[in-house]
A = this chain, B = another copy of it.
Amino acid sequence: MTDTWLTSLITAGPQEGFELAITLSRRGVKYTQPDGEVLHRLRPDYAENADSLIAGSQVVAVNFQTVAAANDYWR
């Protein structure tokens, strides 16, 4: 990818940090499947499947660990 989408892990607070973790999780998918058309077509497969949603939340949780540590837990 040639666009710049990530210049810092520092966020104003934990909620923005959680949202950055969401972004990181989606980017982890996009690097493998950059075709937005395919991703759109797959959406019902995971957005309406409990196990996929839980697996997605797991990825967010791992990325949130990274962002939270980067921000010294916003203490």
Q: Which residues of A contact B (CB under 8 A)?
A: 1, 4-10, 13-15, 18-19, 22, 24-29, 31-33, 38, 42-43, 45-66, 68-70, 73-75
Which single member of B58, B60, B69 contacts A31 (CB below 8 Å)? B60
Known A-B contacts A9-B73, A56-B32; A66 and B64 likewise in contact (beta carbons under 8 Å): yes
Bound CA–CA A61/B28 (angstroms): 7
Q: Is the CB of A6 within 8 A of B15?
A: yes
- Nearest CB in chain B: distance from A66 CB, A: 5
Known A-B contacts A33-B53, A38-B47, A70-B75; A65 and B64 likewise in contact (beta carbons under 8 Å): no
Bound CA–CA A73/B20 (angstroms): 14
